[in-house]
Amino acid sequence: MLHSNIIGYLQTHSHRFLDELKEFIRFPSISAQPAHTADVARCAAWLAGHMRRIGMENTSLIPTKGHPVVFSEWRRASGRPTVLIYGHYDVQPPEPLDEWRTPPFEPVVRGDYLFARGATDDKGQMFAHVKALETLLAVDGRLPVNAVCLFEGEEEAGSTGILRFLAENGDKLHADLAVISDTLMPSPERPTVIYSLRGSIGLELEVTGQRHDLHSGQFGGMVRNPVQALCEIIARLHDAEGRIAVPGFYGRVKKLSDTEKRYMSETGPSDAELLENAGTEAGWGDARYTLYERTTVRPALTVTGIAGGYQGPGSKGEIPARASAKIDIRLAPRQEPLEIECLFRLFITRTTPPEVRAKVSRYSSVSPVEMNPSHPIYRAVVKACLRGFGGKPLFRRSGGSIPVVTALRENCGIPVALLGFGLADANMHGPNESLYLPNFIRGMATSIHLMRELGRFTT
Amino acid sequence: MLHSNIIGYLQTHSHRFLDELKEFIRFPSISAQPAHTADVARCAAWLAGHMRRIGMENTSLIPTKGHPVVFSEWRRASGRPTVLIYGHYDVQPPEPLDEWRTPPFEPVVRGDYLFARGATDDKGQMFAHVKALETLLAVDGRLPVNAVCLFEGEEEAGSTGILRFLAENGDKLHADLAVISDTLMPSPERPTVIYSLRGSIGLELEVTGQRHDLHSGQFGGMVRNPVQALCEIIARLHDAEGRIAVPGFYGRVKKLSDTEKRYMSETGPSDAELLENAGTEAGWGDARYTLYERTTVRPALTVTGIAGGYQGPGSKGEIPARASAKIDIRLAPRQEPLEIECLFRLFITRTTPPEVRAKVSRYSSVSPVEMNPSHPIYRAVVKACLRGFGGKPLFRRSGGSIPVVTALRENCGIPVALLGFGLADANMHGPNESLYLPNFIRGMATSIHLMRELGRFTT
């Protein structure tokens, strides 16, 4: 239980906390839209000022090529662990605007919810940690652990700045646990800890044929059509069972033990649940695995975009000179991005018809991350959730990829707890994004409990 | 040979003819761009006025839903054949403008060429016939044949109006030969008569999967990707030998006789020539046929466009909810558009994976046309070319499709001579379109000779 003076502080100041969150949300810190560069900067300055006011130390704006990282720390708990709190103060574009009931950057409370862009993703979730820091510093005059905050302003636009910062300075961070609240929970009482992420490779495959577009009447039937060649290559990327047909692709993919299969089936979503989330009746893919397994411990190859030739209304009689596809490969734990990219390139070379040329370009590459849900550091997370939310957290794998997590875990060697308390219907990237206010309070309490639990460890 | 008074008329007035052609060309009669609707109308009015001035009768603007057809006739050659002259006074859009050496609608003579949009396609070619009519009417006071002119203003935008006019009035036209000069010749002394065209069907194939785009990290590997399904369907449309794999597709395609094969190899372009035209080194398709055969007497199926998912720079992690492709089928002589469309639809139904839905829509459908190059009416064409151009015309098949020709030939029962004297490098739809002026003169002479030759026939 929390001390009564902590509860008292939370009760006395909860209205102010909400007002401050609204102030934070009113900055249209849309990182992907150049027109909002100044808003992102103002938001960063506001956040840095706020960190200073609550008593955090060495607060600074770390410049990047894009938007700054807000850095802040408190390192007076000598001999105690260090917790790194990551969050992002930038938001997704709010469009389409006409689908919002109230303007996206004018936060409004309706019932138990606060509606605004960024309410859950990620201003609301990260601010719960900020207010936890404030509460502990105000009531106890100190923190039970050392703390480092890294709040970036480019999460919705590629995280370039913070990734470079971590690559250059990660080894100096020396944290024992990174806490990130930027994910979802399946029901309001069940916070969720993600302990495994897939990696990803973003590629483009371009097929070119003759020098110019050609008249499909005059030349149709005598030249290779790059669109058709591209389709044929793509069709060969999977076998009839829905497995990726690139030789060697599954070489490093771990065979699931029975224990692991059982653990996943007990903790993970059912096929029916995932199909409902996907809004479809029919699953697809390697039938030897459940849908949860297919999307987390098995790799996937998705053509996310394809383009070639005429795409407007009606038709146009031309054989296009080129066609291209965007390919998104999701890597299962232990797969190596470079190796997979190599195997993919070899396969493309082998399957490209002789009359056309294929070119593969890479946009991005992120290693998969897998943490052990039995790691002792997670026990503190479980206890904190039990006390803050009244329920044990779910430990789940995710099929997504978070470059910052890969950087923290793989490059900087910091274990990461992805502790999400956004509701599944929070509409994080859509109109009428909301924050379930009881979870804002529970998030703060959980953060306070987590720091206290970690404070019991010595280093 | 032409009477000396005809030659005299041509010599005396050739400068005025060129000035009039320039006047005709200065109208930016771009049928596909609504901003130019008034220009198209002004061009039609100018042309109608011109037809009246040269002595043609019953000239009128036939209104359509789009741009008017300029109608004109002279029917005083009782007992003689009727020639129908078709042309179009609309032009392609001139974009990209910065690639023009001089403005597209300010005709300029450089050397033997007139440069302007519409110089060859089709204002220059059709105006040669107009000036032939004028010359005969002025010198002889009459035409040796009956003549009907149909000049449409929508050829570059679908020919909708004239096709409807022909469907409704074609049986009243009673022409013995239609002459159309709107095609190319391989060298300046070899006018070309096209005696066979492929048909065409313009289709769109749309594949839809789940209701919304889905996150490719969260769901990649458990749902059917419509882009991939579309690619798989497209990949199955051809077999490994480059033949269309739709069962029954070749059912009506005529087997070529040895005589026909020989005739085609003697009159048609070589493989090397066609590859050079296509700007490629490697041919493709059914190896049992020459490239000329593959593009004229064999059908072809071309994916002219494909689109699905994200197509901008970089990548986006989404499984698209839909993807679509534009399919252009070229029909060999004797193939039936409706039957082929039916077979195609059946094949799509059969090859569509069960987790997605496919929909086929039709944009256009044109029957193939095949005329007999030994038809007696063509003898007059050969003689006219011999006299007008100093060389026999080439008789060739084309892989293209011209709806108006199908309508004249198949619906109205009129034999058609596609007598082209545009040079292959005239850049008909590109920047710096040009007309080779000696061919403008030769075209006029050929048209005069043709009418005189036809005038020898009695009906």
**Domain CATH number, residue A136:** 3.40.630.10
Identify whether B87 is part of a domain. Answer: yes
State which residues form the domain around A205. 199-253+299-366
Residues A12, A103 within the same domain: yes
Distance CA A111, CA B63 (A): 63
- At residue B218, what is the residue type? Q
Residues B129, B65 within the same domain: yes
Asked if residue A275 lies in contact with residue A283, where contact means CB atoms within 8 angstroms, the answer is yes
CB contact under 8 A, B235 and A230: no
- Listed by number, the residues of chain B in 120-149 with a beta carbon closer than 8 Å to a beta carbon of chain A are none
Residues B180, B109 within the same domain: yes
Identify whether B277 is part of a domain. Answer: no
- What angle, rounded to 10 degrees, do the helices at A123-140 and A4-26 form? 140
Which residues contact residue A224 at a Cβ distance below 8 angstroms, ignoring those fewer than 6 apart? A209, A353, A355, A356, B282, B284
Query: Which of B210, B214, B230, B231 to mutate to probe the A interface, most A CBs <10 Å?
Result: B231
- Which residue in A has a C-alpha nearest to residue B282's C-alpha? A355
CATH code where residue A353 lies: 3.30.70.360
Euclidean distance between the first and the last CA atom of chain B, given in angstroms as a whole number? 24
CB contact under 8 A, B216 and A302: yes
Identify whether B262 is part of a domain. Answer: no
pLDDT of res. A319: 94
Contacts of B277 in chain A (CB under 8 A): 218-219
A309 → closest Cβ in B274, B291, B326: B326
Identify whether B264 is part of a domain. Answer: no
Asked if residue B143 lies in contact with residue B77, where contact means CB atoms within 8 angstroms, the answer is yes
DSSP E strand stretches across A267-345: 300-309, 318-319, 322-331
Identify whether B273 is part of a domain. Answer: no
Query: A260 has which bridge partners?
Result: none
Residues B8, B73 within the same domain: yes
Residue where the block lists tokens 């069940």: A190
Asked if residue A387 lies in contact with residue A393, where contact means CB atoms within 8 angstroms, the answer is no
> From the CA of A363, how many Å to the nearest CA of chain B?
6
pLDDT of res. A1: 62
Instruction: Flag whether residue A348 sits within 8 Å of chain B, measured between CB atoms.
Output: no
Q: Which two tokens stand for residue A87?
A: 């969050």
Distance CA B381, CA B417 (A): 8
- Listed by number, the residues of chain A in 308-327 with a beta carbon closer than 8 Å to a beta carbon of chain B are 308-311, 314-320, 323, 325-326
Q: Which two tokens stand for residue A159?
A: 């995280």
Residues A372, A312 within the same domain: no
- Which residue in A has a C-alpha nearest to residue B218's C-alpha? A399
Cα dist. A292→A271, A289, B25 in Å?
7, 8, 67
Residues A100, A208 within the same domain: no
Residues A177, A130 within the same domain: yes
Picking from A350, A366, A382, the residue at the C-terminal end of a domain is A366
Cα dist. B160→A199, B151, B364, B365 in Å?
54, 13, 11, 12
Contacts of B301 in chain A (CB under 8 A): 220
CB contact under 8 A, B363 and A314: yes
Picking from A326, A341, A366, the residue at the C-terminal end of a domain is A366
Asked if residue A252 lies in contact with residue A199, where contact means CB atoms within 8 angstroms, the answer is no
- Which residue in B has a C-alpha nearest to residue A231's C-alpha? B231
pLDDT of res. A187: 84
Instruction: Flag whether residue A299 sits within 8 Å of chain B, measured between CB atoms.
Output: yes
Asked if residue A209 lies in contact with residue A191, where contact means CB atoms within 8 angstroms, the answer is no
> From the CA of B111, how many Å to the nearest CA of chain A?
28
Picking from A344, A366, A388, the residue at the C-terminal end of a domain is A366
Cα dist. B458→B75, B132, B240 in Å?
14, 21, 55
Distance CA B178, CA B147 (A): 10
Identify whether B407 is part of a domain. Answer: yes
Domains: count for chain B: 2
Cα dist. B67→A220, B64, B230 in Å?
31, 6, 38
Residues A150, A233 within the same domain: no
Residues B232, B362 within the same domain: yes
Provide the residue-wise pLDDT of chain A in tens; the chain has 459 residues. Answer: 677 889 999 999 999 999 999 999 999 999 989 999 999 999 999 999 999 999 999 999 999 999 999 999 999 999 999 999 999 999 988 988 888 999 999 999 999 999 999 999 999 999 999 999 999 999 999 999 999 999 999 998 889 999 999 999 988 888 999 999 999 888 888 889 999 999 999 999 999 998 888 999 999 999 999 999 999 999 999 999 999 999 999 999 999 999 999 999 999 999 999 999 888 888 999 999 999 999 999 999 999 999 999 988 887 888 999 999 999 999 999 999 999 999 999 999 999 999 999 999 999 999 999 998 888 889 999 999 999 999 899 999 999 999 999 999 988 999 999 999 899 888 888 889 999 999 999 999 999 999 999 999 887
Residues A246, A379 within the same domain: no
Residue B147: which of B54, B69, B85 has the closest Cα?
Answer: B85
Contacts of B237 in chain A (CB under 8 A): 228
Residue A59: which of A181, A50, A67 has the closest Cα?
Answer: A50
Distance CA A167, CA A174 (A): 14
Euclidean distance between the first and the last CA atom of chain A, given in angstroms as a whole number? 25
Contacts of B295 in chain A (CB under 8 A): 218-222
Asked if residue A9 lies in contact with residue A139, where contact means CB atoms within 8 angstroms, the answer is yes
Length of chain B: 459
- Listed by number, the residues of chain A in 178-237 with a beta carbon closer than 8 Å to a beta carbon of chain B are 198, 200, 202-204, 209-212, 214-225, 227-228, 230-232, 234-237
Identify whether B265 is part of a domain. Answer: no
Identify whether B352 is part of a domain. Answer: yes
Residues B190, B328 within the same domain: no
Distance CA B312, CA A163 (A): 23
Residues A303, A423 within the same domain: no
- At residue B43, what is the residue type? C
